[in-house]
Chain A
Amino acid sequence: MNDHTVATVEELDDGDRKLIELEGREVALFRIDGEFRAYTNWCLHQGGPACEGSVTGTSTAEFDRDDLQTDLQWCKEGEVLNCPWHGWEYDIPTGECLSKEGTKLPSHPVEVNDGEVIVSL
């Protein structure tokens, strides 16, 4: 496994991302809630550039069986990555796909050392 210094901590604010190429692979570094995550830019669906997609929230819903009302809510603002090809949603903190259980973006270990962000590949 090779370590790559890909950014400085100051370079990315919360909600930012940086696309880099490591050993011939496209990787995206995300900063969210102060933490860094690195994923391969490859959607599990059809190989689209998932990490280049929009970052949004998403919808959740609860159904009240007594009054038969559905309560729609917007949640996870800034934590949902949408693949630009077909809209597959990924949870940025975990890499998990929201619409296909057990599916995760390929992730890479990230360490912060002396103000530098290091991704291992």
Chain B
Amino acid sequence: MSQAKSHALADTTVVDTDVHITVEEETVAKYLEEPYRSSITDSPHAMFPSSSWDQRMGGKIDDHFSTFTGPEDVQQFQSDFDIDYPIINTFEPLGKFPQPDLAMSLMRAYNDLLLDQFLDDYDFLGLAAVATQKPEEAAAEIDRLSNEDGIVGIYIGTSGEYPPLGDPANDPIYRAAEDNDLPVVFHGNGDEFMFDFPHHNKGFNNYFEVQTLGHPWQQMATMSSLLGEGVPAKFPDLNFVFLEAGIGWVPYMMHRMNKIYRMRRSEVPLLEKSPEEYLRDQFYIGSQPLGEPNTSDDMKRMIETLGADMLMFATDYPHWDFDHLEELDKYLQHYFTDAERQKILYETPVEAFGLSV
């Protein structure tokens, strides 16, 4: 950012809940166990599937992604974007890999890389990647990572996950996260839309349609599964964070699940209060990608409905649809009190992730 830091930002400590470091396949290969390391280094067959959608439209949208690979890039980003505490993750959604042992190996490799290259020698905050294909192994990985400085949560991509993430098969993961005081962070993905919605991925004619639905559909499916299986009731001290679907879908889900709960309570008897109460008590929502209503009052009402206790700022940098802090802050400064703004940019993520900053 070329302009000087604005006065309001200079006075505000900002936590960014969603910063992705780019990890080239050859880089993670160095941390992988065999035979998977050689699958990357020596095989002509690509191990990482791609949907082949052109997210950057032939270069019309610049590529901030490919070069965002090292700790110095994160530091430059902090400086340019006025971010005091970026919570970084290694991004790759691991649910898409059909081989359970490969997914487990990738999980450990990404975490070893995160520690080795970013957390051991810097003051960054990071999320431990979790693959759910073998929940007991994932729980062991959470235990292993929990004592590492800088690990403030676990990270699960919500694409390609089967069974859905609230399924009791995943309870060992949630128990381990709760035991270690780490929130569970769910992140939606556009390129991986094909794994959960293959018919739509094949049927849509442009990425506009995929991008519109991909993240919210994955996040809605995850939130519905979590509530329907009573996960927040099973683990009342566990926090849940949802990233990268914006915020408008949350009031919709909150109110819709209230309605359905009141009609079908006996089907979900683990729930002892309304879905909205569970969401307000244990769930947190990252702001990015913030919707862009034509009338700014509409966004004011949406932010008010979520409330400053649930909403947290996120950039999603360096991905092509990232949000600059100004995007959310123009609403916060115009419509909300300093105390509410302070919560959304700092205090609420501190609570959600249990940060000591």
Which residues does A use to contact B, with CB under 8 Å? 45, 58-61, 63, 65, 68, 70, 72, 86-89, 97-101
Residues of B258-296 whose CB lies within 8 A of A: 261-267, 269-270, 273-274
Task: Check A63 against B266 for contact (C-beta < 8 Å).
Answer: no
Q: Given A68-B168, A68-B175, A100-B274 in contact, is the A60-B261 Cβ separation under 8 Å?
A: no
Q: Given A68-B171, A68-B172 in contact, is the A63-B270 Cβ separation under 8 Å?
A: yes
B170 (CB) vs chain A CBs: closest residue: A68
Task: Check B273 against A63 for contact (C-beta < 8 Å).
Answer: no
Main secondary structure of the interface of B (DSSP, over half): helix
The 8 Å CB contact of A89, one of B175, B265, B274, is B265
In whole angstroms, what is the CA distance A100 to B230 when docked?
Answer: 17
Q: Decide if B233 is an interface residue (CB 8 Å cutoff).
A: yes
The 8 Å CB contact of B270, one of A61, A65, A68, A98, is A61
Q: B165-209 vs A: 1/0 string, CB under 8 Å?
A: 000100110010000000000000000000000000000000000
A73 (CB) vs chain B CBs: closest residue: B269
A66 (CB) vs chain B CBs: closest residue: B175
Which residues of chain A are within 8 angstroms of B273 by Cβ–Cβ distance?
A: 101
Q: Decide if B256 is an interface residue (CB 8 Å cutoff).
A: no
Q: Decide if B30 is an interface residue (CB 8 Å cutoff).
A: no
Which residues of chain B are within 8 angstroms of A72 by Cβ–Cβ distance?
A: 269
> Shortest 7 CB-CB distances between A and B: which pairs?
A99-B265, A61-B269, A99-B262, A59-B269, A59-B266, A68-B171, A58-B266
CB < 8 Å A-B pair total: 47
A97 (CB) vs chain B CBs: closest residue: B262
Which residues of chain B are within 8 angstroms of A59 by Cβ–Cβ distance?
A: 266-267, 269
* B231 CB, nearest partner CB in chain A, Å: 10
* B277 CB, nearest partner CB in chain A, Å: 9
Which residues of chain B are within 8 angstroms of A58 by Cβ–Cβ distance?
A: 265-266, 269
Which residues of chain A are within 8 angstroms of B263 by Cβ–Cβ distance?
A: 86-88, 99
Q: Decide if B5 is an interface residue (CB 8 Å cutoff).
A: no
Task: Check A65 against B234 for contact (C-beta < 8 Å).
Answer: yes
Q: B308-334 vs A: 1/0 string, CB under 8 Å?
A: 000000000000000000000000000
Considering only CB atoms and an 8 Å cut-off, how many residues of chain B contact the other chain? 19
Which residues does B use to contact A, with CB under 8 Å? 168, 171-172, 175, 230, 233-235, 261-267, 269-270, 273-274
The 8 Å CB contact of A88, one of B230, B262, B269, is B262
In whole angstroms, what is the CA distance A97 to B267 when docked?
Answer: 15
Which residues of chain B are within 8 angstroms of A88 by Cβ–Cβ distance?
A: 262-263
In whole angstroms, what is the CA distance A42 to B175 when docked?
Answer: 43
Question: Would you mind naming 13 contact pairs between A and B with Cβ atoms under 8 Å apart?
Answer: A58-B265, A58-B269, A61-B230, A65-B234, A68-B172, A68-B175, A70-B168, A72-B269, A87-B263, A89-B266, A98-B266, A99-B261, A101-B273
In whole angstroms, what is the CA distance A101 to B267 when docked?
Answer: 17
A44 (CB) vs chain B CBs: closest residue: B262
The 8 Å CB contact of A45, one of B262, B266, B270, is B262
B258 (CB) vs chain A CBs: closest residue: A100
* B190 CB, nearest partner CB in chain A, Å: 33
The 8 Å CB contact of A60, one of B234, B262, B269, B274, is B269
* A78 CB, nearest partner CB in chain B, Å: 15
Which residues of chain A are within 8 angstroms of B172 by Cβ–Cβ distance?
A: 68
